Amino acid sequence: MAFEGLADRLQGTIKKITGKGKVSEQDVKEMTREVRLALLEADVNFKVVKDLIKRIKERAIGQDVLEGLNPGQQVIKVVKEELTDLMGGEQSKIAVANKPPTVIMMVGLQGAGKTTTTGKLANNLRKNYNRNPMLVAADVYRPAAINQLETLGKQLDMPVFSQGTDANPVDIAKQAIEQAKEDHRDYVIIDTAGRLHVDEGLMDELQQIKDTVNPDEIFLVVDAMTGQDAVNVAESFDDQLDISGVVLTKLDGDTRGGAALSIKAVTGKPIKFAGMGEKLDQLEAFHPDRMASRILGMGDVLSLIEKAETQVDEKKAKEMEQKMRDMSFTFEDFLEQMSQVRNMGPLDEIMNMMPGANKMKGMKNMQLDEKQIDHVEAIIQSMTKEERVDPNIMNASRKKRIAKGSGTSVAQVNRLLKQFNEMKKMMKQMMGGKKGKKKGGLNLPFM
């Protein structure tokens, strides 16, 4: 029942075929079996998995092994590329109508998160595109759905159009658009009731709303935890409404999210946004490449390497290594290194990319706090050049000044100084290549 990632699953197979120059049919067969299981465990629909595996086999067999990769990694590379291809590129643009208002319709099953996403989307449109959206409460069925949207409207200070629960959703939508024109609102987002894709009556109602308001976008909102049924849901909604995009919600959970792949495969429609939390600013552009890694659950070595290559200047890295060796590593260097790491992406994501990182003791439940890193950065930036190079000159009044300048406390400054010293010692040990004391592991100041 262990929630194994692909990397772990493949380890045994990879070991066996390391050192070969070509990937043989048998290698691929063994590897694709593991890939298949990993995808199924991630809730990717079995039909989608079948097609994918077929393509992977065709591509992987007989390939020359690239320099720097072992055959196992080579197959992973093919898998990753196929997945990323299937997922498509990043597309988080929202349509703009020639004549305002632009109309967006939100549809989906019960409990997918339509109402919350409606609020988030409106917030996004205002914040990032300077738009003036109006929200429309067309869910007249679920108890208090209108109240929920009205509460969100209040939180966002945005108008919500509603006519109570006795009105017909088609009429509500129609009149909402008239109202939006009058009020010069440039976006109208219609929150519809959750419904089963097999409920003909309610699906007809959506069709009618669509025919009446002629929306510029129809977003299907799907729970990222959805299982095999995701294909049926997506297919039905797409067949009947010709959706324009998908919003995947609850991605801040620990689901692998194979539904994303299934939906993309059966509808061909882009997944545009991802819901990443319960707050109204937690709607993000969807990153297909990150999703591919997540579904596979593989410590994504390849993309980590790619990222590292583009971010870290090799010459600088050599210099840094030398500094670590002779212990002349300063706060100045540390700051630079930190910014390089941060350029690679959010820290927890980088941690996710390291194979085995989630197996390390205590790592699993560790919640990396970006704020803490901000503090560390602020403290270092409040030091003078002199202090950064030689922290030994630090005295009480300097520490006080630094704490004040960085908005932290003297205790925090002290902690950082202590950790920095320990880190330097540790680095020396590691660089010196001496085995022996392995106590505690590397204790980076921001962990």
Residue ranges binding another protein (CB under 8 A): 1, 3, 37, 40-43, 45-46, 109-113, 115, 141-152, 155, 196-198, 223, 225-230, 232-233, 250, 252-256, 258-259, 278, 365, 367
Using CA atoms, how far apart are residues 271 and 246, in angstroms rounded to an integer? 4
Q: Which is nearer to another protein, 219 or 420 (CB)?
A: 219
Q: How many residues does the chain have?
A: 447
Q: Which is nearer to another protein, 72 or 108 (CB)?
A: 108
Signed CA dihedral, 123, 129, 134, 140: sign only: negative
Q: Which is nearer to another protein, 247 or 403 (CB)?
A: 247
Q: Are 402 and 411 in contact (CB under 8 A)?
A: no
Using CA atoms, how far apart are residues 255 and 429, in angstroms rounded to an integer? 39
CB of 109 to another protein, least distance (A): 7
CB of 115 to another protein, least distance (A): 8
The bridge status of strand 217-223 relative to strand 245-249 is parallel
CB of 367 to another protein, least distance (A): 7
CB of 117 to another protein, least distance (A): 11
CB of 43 to another protein, least distance (A): 3
**Is 191 assigned to a binding site?**
yes
- In b/e form, how buried is each residue of 297-322, taking b as 16+ CB within 10 angstroms? bbbbbbbbeebeeeebeeeeeeebee
Instruction: Tell me which residue of 390, 386, 347, 343 sits closest to 367, measured CA to CA.
Output: 347
Q: Which is nearer to another protein, 12 or 111 (CB)?
A: 111
**Is 251 assigned to a binding site?**
yes
**Is 109 assigned to a binding site?**
yes
Q: Are 301 and 350 in contact (CB under 8 A)?
A: no
**Is 249 assigned to a binding site?**
yes
Instruction: Tell me which residue of 259, 235, 229, 231 sits closest to 247, measured CA to CA.
Output: 259
Using CA atoms, how far apart are residues 354 and 350, in angstroms rounded to an integer? 7
**Is 384 assigned to a binding site?**
no
**Is 175 assigned to a binding site?**
no
Q: Which is nearer to another protein, 215 or 258 (CB)?
A: 258
Using CA atoms, how far apart are residues 241 and 351, in angstroms rounded to an integer? 40
**Is 114 assigned to a binding site?**
yes
**Is 193 assigned to a binding site?**
yes
Q: Which is nearer to another protein, 202 or 394 (CB)?
A: 202
Q: Which is nearer to another protein, 111 or 441 (CB)?
A: 111
CB of 107 to another protein, least distance (A): 15
CB of 279 to another protein, least distance (A): 11
**Is 250 assigned to a binding site?**
yes
Q: Are 108 and 220 in contact (CB under 8 A)?
A: yes
Q: What are the Cα distances from residue 317, in Å, to 312, 352, 390, 429?
A: 7, 23, 21, 18
Mark the binding-site residues for GTP, compressed into ranges: 108-115, 191-195, 249-252
